[in-house]
Chains A and B, each alone.
Chain A
Amino acid sequence: MVDIIEISITAVGAFLAICMFTTLYGKSNPLYALAEESYIGFGTALTVIWNLLFIYNTGVLGITQAGKYALIFGILFGLMVLLRVSNKYSYVARIPIAIAIGSQFGLALRTTIFTGFLDQIRGTILPLLTGSTQQMIYNWTIALAVILMLTFFFYTTELKGPLGVSSKIGEYVMYAAFGGIFAQTFMGRLSLFVGFMQNYMVPPWKIPWLLGSLIVVFGAVIVLDRMHLLEKLTPEE
């Protein structure tokens, strides 16, 4: 038996989601604005609450329960950031921001060399003469594509002769890669939509709520458009 809370969640969720989809109608409308503002409000509140809880769990409990007093500095620096809203003392906020940027930079720099550079190179150094035929074809394709595409990015030399041919092929390989990425992106976006539809169609008792919201919301938008009320009723950005 489905309880009233689950029905309410589905009904409100389906209604607001379909309101969001009215952006596809191509004109600003009050229902889209309602869904958008609701999402911003909900998202902000959720972020504030969860981050306050994180600060409590990590910072406050860290000091009071685990006795890690160094965390007091973290909380103090956090409070100093709040001074950014003061005209007189806003400069104080720059100190913890500078520390945060510096520490983040230090954290990331050490490892980014590996993940963003060395491991990417290691990922392209592949066995070309061992493994199955299929694997060898994959590895040769990756190795050749990287070399050909890199020649396209030689900026300080004239691309002519073998280098010109190589860079030209590299250019076309790049176009093929763009096509692949575009297709993957389409698949990804379609996945989001299919996932949304499944969420509101399984189990089947949800289907009337989804289709009902669809008819009501798009019907309202079309009627408002015919009555030339869309712009009038949509709040300004």
Chain B
Amino acid sequence: MANTKPAGKSGYRYLVEYDRRIIYLLIFILVLAPLLQPFILPIQVSPDTTTYYNVLNGLKKDDKVLVVFDTEFSGYMEIQSGIIASIRMMFQHEVKVAIAVAHVEATGIPQLVFDQLASVMQEHNYVYGVNYINLGYVFPNEAAVAASAQDFHTVVRQDAYGKSITGTFLDDVKDWSSWTLLSDYTTGIQSTALINHYGLKGTPMIANVIGVMISTSAPYVSSGIYKALLGSMRGGAELEYLTGYPGPGLTAMNSFTLGHYMLMIAIVLGNVGYFGYRSYQNKLKAQEVK
């Protein structure tokens, strides 16, 4: 807490120099407990998430959506609720979905998503190549993103499993203008490139970003490049609530609430300890001078 090693006896001393591992342990317990015994409380839906929901709700059958997993696997942990809820909505609207990956660690995510949404896909008769396709790692850098926006088939010739994409619904895709929507799930790897080469040209874009990116992504909503923005796991939970399919987002909200309460208490205690101990030391010095 304080930079200097405290000396002397004081009630504040413990608050200044306690073992930080206690905080880690408390966070672990506070996150674990609600997950062991999950319960779902109603949450308030923000206007941002409502706009995001409305954009997805406006999709029509056979619209073409380019989904980009622009994240490391660790980032997927944070935005998986948004990914699942969004793609569920796309499948429910029977749109054609192409999944592209912009980080090698995300190459396993499409299969995880398909596994979790297998029942919805079955219900709406989703056929690989006709209604959806997994393109794999096709956006390693800005040059690839730019080239795909100009001529999609220059960059993408095979899907993630090595099969030619000829004969799939991607035959109709020529460039950036062929997509009804670009949905970016991002930790910021190629998001700027996607904005530069798709969003600025006119492809409608939505994004589900991690918590640290919310403030920097918000201006793109005001300027109209993003049609809507879904923020972190909280946004995912709100979308789950709106769609009526509770998932990992909603069950995590209690862990969040407890974790955030703990942070607030830690900040208050830390400040009480710091200022209290400083005042105690000043008193000691004054006594020594006397």
The chain A residues found within 8 Å of chain B, CB to CB, are 24-26, 43, 46-47, 50-51, 53-54, 57-58, 61-62, 65-66, 68, 103-104, 107-108, 111-112, 114-115, 119-120, 122-124, 126, 142, 177, 180-181, 184-199, 201-202, 207
List 19 additional contacts besides A54-B144, A61-B157, A185-B212; criterion CB under 8 Å: A26-B20, A50-B137, A57-B158, A66-B153, A66-B157, A104-B143, A115-B200, A187-B211, A187-B256, A187-B260, A190-B256, A191-B232, A192-B77, A192-B78, A194-B77, A194-B233, A197-B255, A198-B251, A201-B35
Query: Which residue in A58, A188, A193, A198 is a CB contact (below 8 Å) of B144?
Result: A58
In contact, A111 and B78 (Cβ under 8 angstroms): no
In contact, B220 and A123 (Cβ under 8 angstroms): yes
Question: With A and B bound together, what is the CA distance between A193 and B232 in angstroms?
Answer: 13
In contact, B223 and A180 (Cβ under 8 angstroms): no
What distance in Å separates the Cβ of B81 from its nearest Cβ neighbour in chain A? 8
Q: Which residue of A lies closest to B187 (CB)?
A: A188
In contact, B143 and A107 (Cβ under 8 angstroms): yes
Question: With A and B bound together, what is the CA distance between A192 and B31 in angstroms?
Answer: 11
- A-B pairs with lowest CB-CB distance, top 8: A188-B211, A195-B77, A111-B196, A123-B219, A123-B222, A191-B78, A119-B223, A123-B223
- On chain B, the residues within 8 Å of A54 by CB distance are 137-138, 140, 144
Question: With A and B bound together, what is the CA distance between A103 and B136 in angstroms?
Answer: 25
The chain B residues found within 8 Å of chain A, CB to CB, are 20-21, 24, 27, 31-32, 35-36, 74-78, 80, 104-105, 107, 136-138, 140, 142-144, 146, 153-158, 192, 195-197, 200, 210-212, 214-215, 218-225, 232-234, 248, 251-252, 255-256, 259-260, 263
In contact, B233 and A195 (Cβ under 8 angstroms): yes
In contact, B143 and A112 (Cβ under 8 angstroms): no
What distance in Å separates the Cβ of A115 from its nearest Cβ neighbour in chain B? 5
What distance in Å separates the Cβ of B166 from its nearest Cβ neighbour in chain A? 10
Q: Which residue of B lies closest to A207 (CB)?
A: B36
Question: With A and B bound together, what is the CA distance between A46 and B106 in angstroms?
Answer: 11
In contact, B222 and A126 (Cβ under 8 angstroms): yes
What distance in Å separates the Cβ of A184 from its nearest Cβ neighbour in chain B? 5
What distance in Å separates the Cβ of B206 from its nearest Cβ neighbour in chain A? 16
Q: Which residue of B lies closest to A100 (CB)?
A: B143
Q: Which residue of B lies closest to A204 (CB)?
A: B36
In contact, B77 and A120 (Cβ under 8 angstroms): no
Question: With A and B bound together, what is the CA distance between A78 and B218 in angstroms?
Answer: 38
In contact, B143 and A120 (Cβ under 8 angstroms): no
What distance in Å separates the Cβ of B179 from its nearest Cβ neighbour in chain A? 18
